[in-house]
Structure 1
Amino acid sequence: MNKFAIGAALAMTLLGATSQAADPKPAVVKPLLTEPLSGVPGKEVTVLTVEYLPGGASAPHRHDADVFVYVLEGAVVMQVDGKEPVTVRKGETFRENPKDIHRQSMNASKTEPAKFVVFVVKDQGKPVTRPLDGG
């Protein structure tokens, strides 16, 4: 699956399931890279950026992958099941494990955008994100 197909699948998940705000704003997802990992058969890395407009959010979902987030601009509220929500600000990181349910992902601001880079280590050919009701 090429980086644009992966980005489109992620965007459909995030855009189709924006959430929790009274006037949800869709996420802007830009795929940057998808490449197989050397020396790790069956695994690949995907790198993308996500921008939440003011008030933007995504519905609960899962990644089935190791996910690393680095906030470039603004702040985002992140939460996985079993843990308290955390506000991740510019220059800070957030980590998800393959079994985590990403319960909350939203812009911490109603007036400023938030942008972050996502680094995903996953099984080759598998989607980056899937909605919870998808299994």
Structure 2
Amino acid sequence: MKKAVIFLCLLAGTLAAQEARVTPLLSKDLPDLPGKEGRMIIVNYPPGGSTAVHRHNADVFVYVMEGSVVMQVKGGKQMTLTAGQSFYEAPGDIHLVSKNASTTAPAKFVVFFVTDKGAPISTPVK
């Protein structure tokens, strides 16, 4: 029983460590685009970190700051981006793959959204 509890604690710690950490940076109404706003966030992926399939319903611009990330939208090719490279998602895109390319090093990227004012940043897709 004791071994099972230890195993479950280790498993829970491993799963929690794989979650992305999102830090909001800025949210600003866009006066030239009524009803729209610009948002900026930083995403930190721990080693092996990823997010589930989702969509943003926004124009999304990604710039990799550290490490490398794997990105793919439905109908597009999977690509690995390294520091200094960028990625774009259109409002209708379904983001199939978003993960840290490394299982040993963290990854960090900044994301800029142009979206409807007050819309959620991300919506899960089944």
Deviation beyond 3 Å, 4+ runs, structure 1: none
Deviations 1:94-135 (A, max 9, x none): 0000000000000000000000000000000111100014xx
TM-score (norm 2): 0.86
Aligned residues, how many? 112
Instruction: For residue 87 of structure 1, report the CA deviation from its aligned partner.
Output: 0.4
**Greater radius of gyration (CA):** 2
Q: Confirm whether residue 68 of structure 1 aligns to residue 61 of structure 2.
A: yes
Instruction: For residue 46 of structure 1, report the CA deviation from its aligned partner.
Output: 0.5
Q: What is the rounded CA distance, in whole Å, between the counterparts of 2:51 and 2:115 in structure 1?
A: 20
| Residue 36 (structure 2) aligns with | 43
Letter aligned with residue 44 of structure 1: E
| Residue 50 (structure 2) aligns with | 57
TM-score (norm 1): 0.80
Q: What is the rounded CA distance, in whole Å, between the counterparts of 2:110 and 2:66 in structure 1?
A: 10
Q: What is the rounded CA distance, in whole Å, between the counterparts of 2:23 and 2:58 in structure 1?
A: 19
For 1:48, what is the secondary structure of its paired residue?
Answer: strand
Letter aligned with residue 20 of structure 2: A
Q: Confirm whether residue 94 of structure 1 aligns to residue 83 of structure 2.
A: no
| Residue 110 (structure 1) aligns with | 103
Structure 1: runs of 5+ lacking an equivalent: 1-21
| Residue 5 (structure 2) aligns with | none
For 2:47, what is the secondary structure of its paired residue?
Answer: coil
| Residue 122 (structure 2) aligns with | 129
